[in-house]
A and B are shown apart, each in its own frame.
Chain A
Amino acid sequence: MSGIENVVGRLREVLPENAVCSVSVENGKVYVEVQPNLLPDAASSVYWELGGFLSTMIGTDDRYVDGYFRLYYVFSIEEGREEERGKPWVIVMVKIPGDKPSFPSITPRVPAASWYEREVRDLLGLEPENHPDPRRLVLPDDWPEGVHPLRKEFKFDERPEPVPSEYQFRPEEIEGEGIVQVPMSPLHVMADEPSQFRLFVDGERIVDVDYRMFYVHRGIEKIAEERLTYNQVPFIAERVCGICGYAHSTAYCQAVEDALGIEAPERAEYIRTIMLEIERLHSHLLNLGVACHLAAFDWGFMELFRIREKIMKAAEILSGGRKTYGMNLVGGVRRDIPRDKAKKVIELLREVRREFSKTIDIITSNPLFLRRCENVGVLPTHVARALSAVGPTARGSGIPRDTRWDHPYAAYKYIRVKPVVEKSCDVLGRVMVRAREVMDSLDIVEHALDGMPGGPIMYDGDIEIADYARGLGYDEAPRGENVHFVVVKRDSRLHRWRVRASTYNNWPSIPYMSRGYTMADFPLIVGSMDPCYSCTERVVVVDVKSRSTRVFSHNELIKLSRKASLNIKRG
């Protein structure tokens, strides 16, 4: 544990002297309690001087326990430790008095915290002072002021009377000669959320992007806190996301295991790893296929989806379901993998490997595809760093972040996975990261299926729940790190469950990726982040000067993107 001591020592060096209230090490994580008025100093020292990335931020309502709200800023200390496996977690905590719910915002110093602080403002009513963008993030526009659903006095089935109001898109400061606003109405983002984009375009070029999201915030956390016991939650956790659901249920189970101080047996860890990699395979193949489709290279799309079908079959053989595997419970997994099934899956994977390596060679040497992806949607390394981007988005911009390497969990403790990094920072970089990761995942699954140890698949010791025990669970979903935080109560219910999906950290980088590129590139850029490929319901173009509007449909937008490829073809 010398690494931890080292971090504690460094913390004392970089933090302002009078800021620290207490430092403690809990389950291998460093908890630092700081004075609320010095929070921005403390957080920015941990972020910039200690080299931390903001992994998640959690607000809890503990007023019925001890009269305080608490905020936990979870940092993963990575910079300058690229070669280190098992990097330290530093959790900066502040206590906020229940009768004075406000705290100084760290966003001006740590831009990555912007969304998190807007979220606690909406859901818990904790006001971030000096936040540069104090608009609503999560709550609907017609939600009444002063009602905060994650406060304990709010019941999960309460439905406050709506108060009509409209969301303010970024002000007219961007207005100018020839600049046109292009609102894209709530669009069904393939995976996580539908959202509304407003593009500011000058002719074809995008000048800026603003967005409004969380149209389908389902309040899953609230339901779990009020209605379910901790062992019912893995099933609803798997439904947080339609693509990387298993990664969520694994992160959740690991968080509760961390809080209870138990460990899943080794065989269960291997089974989790196998399913996580199967999920990564199907998700990456889907995204690569979609990228081909958007670039009007449909051969690649068809071919990758044909290959992906074999992965879906493998998931069906292993778990009994094509997408929702339903394998996790706290303490292990529910379904074993017998020898004959492992053999069948290995055979399928070998077919996938043969076919995929040929297909991806053809795709990545296609001049048309390359021209659409190269030097488009550039996300500079320093921006990705400032926003704490995760997954292929960060790795495509040259940051070697991979939870499997940084914080080994499940069977990655025994299997070493080096982060795949591309330095080009563009759409192609992200495509290449995924393509290379597909090959890695195939190796991992085959290796794990072959070398799985025997033994039980479920923890069967006694479970003792300390009241208000905290736990952190994390894993590398196909689009990056998922982090779950739980506070468990003695009656085996959850006091707080915070889900942080990988896309949450990546969304804020969309404006940076899109500025300066054309509208036809936009679907491809958004798609390369893999939250969605702009399943736009409709797009309205507003000419600011004449107030004329034109409605684009989802198909028209995709057509626009595909036409751009055809224009290249024609020269």
Chain B
Amino acid sequence: MSLKLIGYSRKRGVVTHPYPKQPIEVDEHYRGKPELEFEKCMGCGACANACPADAITIETLLEKGVREWSIYYGRCIFCGRCQEVCPLTAITLTQEFELAATSREDLMVRAEFKLAACSECGATMDITERQIAVARAILSCSRELPDPEALLEAARVCSECKRKSTAEKIIEATKAYGGGV
């Protein structure tokens, strides 16, 4: 019996992997550490919305003029929902899995996106500059919309100014008919 086992085992040889001296190869679609490609991201927050573990959070700070994005790898469950919902493929799950760190802070990654200013009054709006840039890129290649430039202009005006200009237009219109307000 024992002899048989020895023969069987010898044929298998040593299968223990000399990790960590040699790195372990994972599958190409392994769900490892999610990484943000800052250049691609427009800060829309779709990932934060989808994240079931609340590892990704997003906060708009109007007084600072920025939108803060952050991921805390300590909470991440590597499900890949963020990658799935990202409209710009800015966040992807990498093959990296060695995430041990000595402090919590090391597991945190933050990004800041500049908020756009209203083209009329200059106030900070709840939309990032990059979101407007993306809107411009989409509108510029759209052939179905009649006046993309006007739409884009509208996107760059804050809601307060929009309300004002609408009110002014109504006043103008009523004046034209000779009525008061």
Binding site for B on A (CB under 8 A): 228, 232, 235-236, 239, 299, 303, 306, 309, 313, 316-317, 319-321, 324, 326, 334, 358, 362, 366
Nearest-CB residue, chain B, relative to A314:
B27
Q: Do A362 and B30 touch (CB < 8 A)? A: no
Stretch at the interface among B2-10, B36-44, B172-180: B2-10
- Chain B, range 35-68, C-beta contacts under 8 Å to A: 52-53
B1-40 Cβ-contact flags toward A at 8 Å (1 or 0): 1001100110010010000000000110111000000000
Q: Answer yes or no: B77 CB below 8 A from chain A CBs.
A: yes
Apart from A324-B78, A326-B77, A362-B8, 8 more pairs, CB < 8 Å: A235-B53, A235-B77, A309-B15, A313-B27, A316-B30, A320-B29, A320-B30, A326-B79
Chain B residues with CB under 8 Å of A366's CB are: 1
| A326-B53 contact in complex given A317-B27, A320-B30, C-beta closer than 8 Å | no
Q: Do A320 and B52 touch (CB < 8 A)? A: no
Q: Please, could you name 22 A-B residue pairs with CB atoms under 8 Å apart, sorted by A? A: A228-B52, A235-B52, A235-B77, A235-B79, A239-B77, A299-B9, A303-B9, A303-B12, A309-B15, A316-B30, A319-B31, A320-B27, A320-B29, A320-B31, A320-B80, A321-B30, A321-B31, A321-B78, A324-B79, A326-B79, A326-B80, A362-B4
In the bound complex, what is the Cα–Cα distance between A358 and B77 (angstroms)? 38
Task: State the 6 A-B residue pairs at the shortest beta-carbon distance, nearest first.
Answer: A320-B31, A326-B79, A235-B52, A232-B52, A316-B27, A317-B27
Q: Do B5 and A316 touch (CB < 8 A)? A: no
Q: Looking at the complex, which one of B5, B26, B77, B78 makes contact with A362 (CB distance below 8 Å)?
A: B5
**A-side binding surface: helix, strand, loop or mixed?**
helix
In the bound complex, what is the Cα–Cα distance between A334 and B4 (angstroms)? 46
In the bound complex, what is the Cα–Cα distance between A319 and B93 (angstroms)? 13
Tell which of B53, B78, B80 has the most Cβ of chain A within 10 Å: B80
Q: Do B31 and A326 touch (CB < 8 A)? A: yes
Chain A residues with CB under 8 Å of B5's CB are: 299, 362
Q: Answer yes or no: B153 CB below 8 A from chain A CBs.
A: no
Chain A residues with CB under 8 Å of B29's CB are: 317, 320
Q: Answer yes or no: B96 CB below 8 A from chain A CBs.
A: no
Chain B residues with CB under 8 Å of A321's CB are: 30-31, 78
Q: Do A326 and B84 touch (CB < 8 A)? A: no
In the bound complex, what is the Cα–Cα distance between A228 and B1 (angstroms)? 57
Nearest-CB residue, chain B, relative to A236:
B52
In the bound complex, what is the Cα–Cα distance between A303 and B12 (angstroms)? 10
Distance (whole angstroms) from the CB of B16 to the closest CB of chain A: 9
Distance (whole angstroms) from the CB of B66 to the closest CB of chain A: 28
Chain A residues with CB under 8 Å of B53's CB are: 235
Distance (whole angstroms) from the CB of A361 to the closest CB of chain B: 11
Chain A residues with CB under 8 Å of B78's CB are: 321, 324, 326
Chain A residues with CB under 8 Å of B79's CB are: 235, 324, 326
Chain A residues with CB under 8 Å of B27's CB are: 313, 316-317, 320
Distance (whole angstroms) from the CB of B80 to the closest CB of chain A: 7
In the bound complex, what is the Cα–Cα distance between A309 and B19 (angstroms)? 15
Nearest-CB residue, chain A, relative to B26:
A316
Chain B residues with CB under 8 Å of A358's CB are: 8
Chain B residues with CB under 8 Å of A306's CB are: 12, 15
In the bound complex, what is the Cα–Cα distance between A103 and B65 (angstroms)? 61
B65-83 Cβ-contact flags toward A at 8 Å (1 or 0): 0000000000001111000
In the bound complex, what is the Cα–Cα distance between A326 and B8 (angstroms)? 37
Chain B residues with CB under 8 Å of A228's CB are: 52
Distance (whole angstroms) from the CB of A335 to the closest CB of chain B: 8
Chain A residues with CB under 8 Å of B15's CB are: 306, 309
Nearest-CB residue, chain B, relative to A321:
B31
In the bound complex, what is the Cα–Cα distance between A473 and B5 (angstroms)? 45
Nearest-CB residue, chain A, relative to B77:
A235
Chain B residues with CB under 8 Å of A334's CB are: 80, 84
Tell which of B12, B15, B79, B84 has the most Cβ of chain A within 10 Å: B79
Chain B residues with CB under 8 Å of A319's CB are: 31
- Chain B, range 82-126, C-beta contacts under 8 Å to A: 84, 93
Chain A residues with CB under 8 Å of B1's CB are: 366
In the bound complex, what is the Cα–Cα distance between A324 and B52 (angstroms)? 14
In the bound complex, what is the Cα–Cα distance between A317 and B31 (angstroms)? 10
Distance (whole angstroms) from the CB of A51 to the closest CB of chain B: 41
Chain B residues with CB under 8 Å of A309's CB are: 15
Nearest-CB residue, chain B, relative to A319:
B31
In the bound complex, what is the Cα–Cα distance between A362 and B7 (angstroms)? 13
In the bound complex, what is the Cα–Cα distance between A320 and B30 (angstroms)? 4
In the bound complex, what is the Cα–Cα distance between A305 and B175 (angstroms)? 86
Chain B residues with CB under 8 Å of A313's CB are: 27
Distance (whole angstroms) from the CB of B85 to the closest CB of chain A: 11
Distance (whole angstroms) from the CB of B33 to the closest CB of chain A: 12
